[in-house]
Structure 1
Amino acid sequence: MTTHARDKQSIHYIVRSGLAGGIAGCVAKTVVAPLDRVKILFQASNPEFQKYAGTWSGFYRAGTQIYQQNGLRGLFQGHSATLLRIFPYASIKFMAYDQVRHALMPTRQQETNVRRFFAGAISGVLSVFCTYPLEVIRVRMAFQTSASSNPVSFMGAFRTIYHEHAAAPQSLPHSPTVSLPTTTPYFNRYPLLKFYRGFSVTIMGMVPYAGVSFLSWEYLRARFLHPKTDRSAATPLADLAIGAVSGAVAQTTSYPFEVIRRRMQVGGITRPDRWLRLGETIRAVYQSRGWQGFYVGLGIGYLKIVPMTAVSFTVWQGCKRLLDA
């Protein structure tokens, strides 16, 4: 038992575990990149694509329009930033999960659903905190759709976000009687905070998403893969099936938080005059579409998250076996 614990916490194991997670994340995100692009446009209420939202055929028509305007490159717009973010994100998430899981549940007798949930939640929050600015840049790159504009580069999106709100306007657009503060102290003093738009709601959503995802994964493996036997006997097909179910359950639980987060992340575009707060973002979504507004794009979310989670868990397990982790 001591040897096993020492090996789990060794630098060699941690590096292999992180490498396996990073590769798994990149492969999974590449598989669903076009779906992710359309989903972001729906969630963030891009005016050019709102006519497609709310129907199963909307994804196909939106994807067709993107392809006609910008070709295959348009469907993968922002994907370079995705890969830059997803490798460290997935690496930290899976590596942290291995470590936290071992700390909370060193033996199978100590495994409980509550501990599984907290192990997943902690690893998810840690990975988001370390990589969130890259996520904001990726969303900004994916949000641009105008056929007359060149796609935004990674550094272009970075510079745009960094310089937003350098000086607040004196009045709201089309409303000269409404005054605004002449300064935005938090933006002016701490410009890097702009890269954490929607961070609070992201954490709120990440806790149920990562917690439920890993909880479902561990529970289903324990339930159907005979926990009294060696789990290395699990097949890739079994990993795919269990990962798909885990992703679907986690997506349903956390999706409203994801919609709110996307709206806050693109706030610098839709409302360049001010910082959108959590409460007013929730009200804006509800006033626009009612409670259904918090599930805009959920169908595409399933189309994306089910294969992505399935591939992610499967590649993670496969790489761990390959790397002897």
Structure 2
Amino acid sequence: MNDDNDSLNKKKSIKVSYKNETINPFLNNLTQSTNQNILPNHITKSNLHDPDLIQHGIDSNDKLPNSNSNLNIRNFHQVDKNTLNYVLKSGFAGGVAGVCAKSLIAPLDRIKILFQTGNPHFLQYRGSMNGLLRAFHHISVVDGFRGFYQGHSATLIRIFPYAGIKFITYEQLRNFFIPSQQYETHFRRLVSGSLAGLSSVFLTYPLDLVRVKMAYITHRKDAHIIPLIKNIYNSSDCANSKKGIHNFYRGFMPTMYGMIPYAGVAFFVHDAMHDIFKSPLLRDIAVYEQKENGQALLNTWAELVSGGLAGMLSQTAAYPFEIIRRRLQVTKMSKLSCLSMAKLIYKEQGIKSFYVGLSIGYIKVMPMVACSFYIYEQMKWLLHI
């Protein structure tokens, strides 16, 4: 009898043990502590230092974000930036961002060009905020509302490929120069941004020249893009110049010089501000709650602050080169070098001549860069890249 009882107890014990083995894993998953440092399958010790993972909430100490953080990385998938899909989507996002940003500030852009190039009808308005308002009034009286967007068609034709190439190149160069966190340095960020700017401006500069010449024409009825392109090619508006494609690259070198600090500083400051806003100190108030793919996105105010500050500092760094470039683009002395033009500009009002219209530049560039980065990040968010 005792043997039968022992046998029965053993069978019950086996059944209980079997049930525990089947149920316990499920119960363990439900009761698992959220503070344990258990990494999702897509995150390993080898890729914890990846910049994309870091910017989405993974810190450099092999830990997940704090449990009180509103970031959610459960379904995060790391984006492969080397695929054609990513390149096309990032280029499209950059192009849309550029078009939106340029359309936002087109009226200010035209007035700034008129000031920079020394248009005789607008010389009396330069140098003050009151002059800016009077310039707005002048254009509205002479050409109406459409006068503020004179040359904007050429701007849009140029800006979509320009912005698209710039953002594509930056993403690829950043991925090349900074493959992981240990390579993250200020210099590498600056180099990535500068090379991205140089690549985009080299391919789209002729369109920029056409845009500036269109904006320089005082009366809208005289601004026709096809005859203007023919004039540039045939050099009929230049003295002692031969016709050819090289006429579309007048003022190109100061553009290249200016793009190095402009694009480099813009991307550097933008990324640096992202680091600050995504730090543990500000992450809870500055980072937008993540979607299913776990992608981190700054709140609107934080993204606009990052872009606005990037625009202000980049404009300050590159503005003298922009003045030289604009003057070379509209001068009839085609053989004038960058240095010679710089000397002529300096003779006007000294060092102040290199910063004519800078206040307008701030009013223009800060919202433009802020809008550009904001739309780009939103487009990446919508396109899941």
* Closer/same/farther in 2, CA of residues 166 and 85 from structure 1, 3 Å limit: closer
TM-score if structure 1 supplies the norm length? 0.88
SS of residue in 2 equivalent to 1:7: coil
Alpha-carbon distance in 2 for matches of 1:194, 1:5 = 46
Written as runs of structure 1 = structure 2, the 5 A alignment for 1:98-137 is: 98-137=171-210
Letter of the 1:278 partner, please give it.
C
2:301 corresponds to 1:237 = yes
* Closer/same/farther in 2, CA of residues 264 and 30 from structure 1, 3 Å limit: same
2:122 corresponds to 1:49 = yes
The answer to whether the 8 A contact 1:136-1:265 is kept is yes
2:136 corresponds to 1:76 = no
The count of residues paired between Structure 1 and Structure 2 equals: 301
- Other-structure match for 1:255: 319
2:226 corresponds to 1:155 = yes
Letter of the 1:279 partner, please give it.
L
- Other-structure match for 1:311: 371
The answer to whether the 8 A contact 1:225-1:231 is kept is no
- Other-structure match for 1:172: none
Alpha-carbon distance in 2 for matches of 1:124, 1:31 = 21
2:253 corresponds to 1:200 = yes
TM-score if structure 2 supplies the norm length? 0.74
* Closer/same/farther in 2, CA of residues 163 and 308 from structure 1, 3 Å limit: same
Offset, 1:236? 2.2
Alpha-carbon distance in 2 for matches of 1:6, 1:226 = 22
Written as runs of structure 1 = structure 2, the 5 A alignment for 1:285-300 is: 285-300=345-360
Question: Which structure's CA Rg is the greater one?
Answer: 2
Give the alignment partner of residue 276 of structure 2, picking from 219, 223, 228: 223
The answer to whether the 8 A contact 1:93-1:126 is kept is yes
Alpha-carbon distance in 1 for matches of 2:382, 2:335 = 47
Tell which has more relative contact order, 1 or 2 (C-alpha 8 A, sep 6+).
Answer: 1
The answer to whether the 8 A contact 1:40-1:142 is kept is yes
Alpha-carbon distance in 2 for matches of 1:310, 1:86 = 16
The answer to whether the 8 A contact 2:158-2:204 is kept is yes
Offset, 1:166? 8.9
- Other-structure match for 2:139: 66
Runs of 4 or more above 3 Å deviation? 165-168, 227-231
The answer to whether the 8 A contact 2:231-2:237 is kept is no
Offset, 1:165? 5.1
Alpha-carbon distance in 1 for matches of 2:295, 2:215 = 39
The answer to whether the 8 A contact 1:247-1:306 is kept is yes
Deviations 1:35-77 (A, max 9, x none): 0000000001111101111111111111110110000111100
Alpha-carbon distance in 2 for matches of 1:238, 1:251 = 20
Alpha-carbon distance in 1 for matches of 2:79, 2:266 = 27
The answer to whether the 8 A contact 2:258-2:321 is kept is yes
- Other-structure match for 2:218: 145
Gaps of 5+ in 1: 169-182
Offset, 1:278? 1.1
* Closer/same/farther in 2, CA of residues 152 and 9 from structure 1, 3 Å limit: same
Gaps of 5+ in 2: 1-46, 51-76, 284-293
The range that moved more, 4-13 or 112-121, is 4-13
- Other-structure match for 1:171: none
* Closer/same/farther in 2, CA of residues 95 and 227 from structure 1, 3 Å limit: farther
Offset, 1:152? 1.4
The answer to whether the 8 A contact 1:78-1:139 is kept is yes
The answer to whether the 8 A contact 1:267-1:275 is kept is no
